[in-house]
Amino acid sequence: MGRLAGKVALITGASRGIGAAVARRFAEEGAHVVIAARTVGGLEEVDDEIRAAGGSATLVPLDLRDFIKIDELAAALFERYRRLDILVGNAAEFGTFSPLGHIDPATWTEVIDLNLTANWRLIRAMDPLLRTAASGRAIFVTASVAGRTLPYWGPYAVSKAGLEALVKIYAGEIAKTRVRANLIDPGIVRTRLRSRVFPGENAAVLPPPESVVDAFLALALPECSCNGEIITTESGSR
């Protein structure tokens, strides 16, 4: 039996990169993974890999910026499982490098809606299900730029700074429950988002997404006592 045997885990942004790697690992550990993303083909590929390895998954084609769909997903999870053991908020978009005054409002809205507001909607919708679980765990993905206020990183840095505040507030509110909420800063990883930010970088020399999944697993386990922390894959908490 795996360490997540019998658990139900919802993972967003799971069609590729870190989300897909986490989904495969959680499934290997015995969880039934509900994998959500906009790219149906990517979800199907991840599902094939999970099932070939003996795991089980449910595919949810979903644009998280369609917020009502998050509420509908929560209702469907309740009807089927009556709980949610693990939530991984991984989906994100970068936007653009630009002075703040030059950013198109549509780009700003797209990034903030996906990186920040959608994660609040996930917390809002999934909190009752996490509280029903024996040891609900919520894990969100941040980035070091959240605390560095670097020029030109605009909506991405703002969204991640807001996400860190959001999750820490939530962690304080659930401190006396069995639910735990934390963030992971995976650092430099070979992902499509990274390639968009640094198109001239040699991606072949970067660590693969699989290199960071142990940190996600540690925060998903029932014995994890961390709450409101930011875990990095290189140097522990910050």
Q: Which residues pair with 232 in a beta bridge?
A: 185, 236
Angle of helix 213-220 relative to helix 17-28, nearest 10 degrees, comes to: 50
Q: How far apart are CA 10 and CA 175, in angstroms?
A: 22
DSSP of 28-67: HTTPEEEEEES-HHHHHHHHHHHHHTT-EEEEEE--TTSH
Q: Are strands 86-89 and 137-141 parallel, antiparallel or unpaired?
A: parallel
Residue carrying the six token digits 């970067």: 206
156 is an active site residue = yes
The residue from 81, 152, 156, 170 that is catalytic is 156
Task: Specify whether the CB–CB gap between 64 and 125 falls below 8 A.
Answer: no
How many residues does this entry show for the chain? 238
Task: Specify whether the CB–CB gap between 89 and 140 falls below 8 A.
Answer: yes
| CB environment 205-224: b (16+ within 10 A), e (fewer) | ebeebebbbebbbbbbbeee
Task: Specify whether the CB–CB gap between 119 and 166 falls below 8 A.
Answer: yes
Task: Specify whether the CB–CB gap between 34 and 58 falls below 8 A.
Answer: yes
Q: Which residues are catalytic?
A: 156
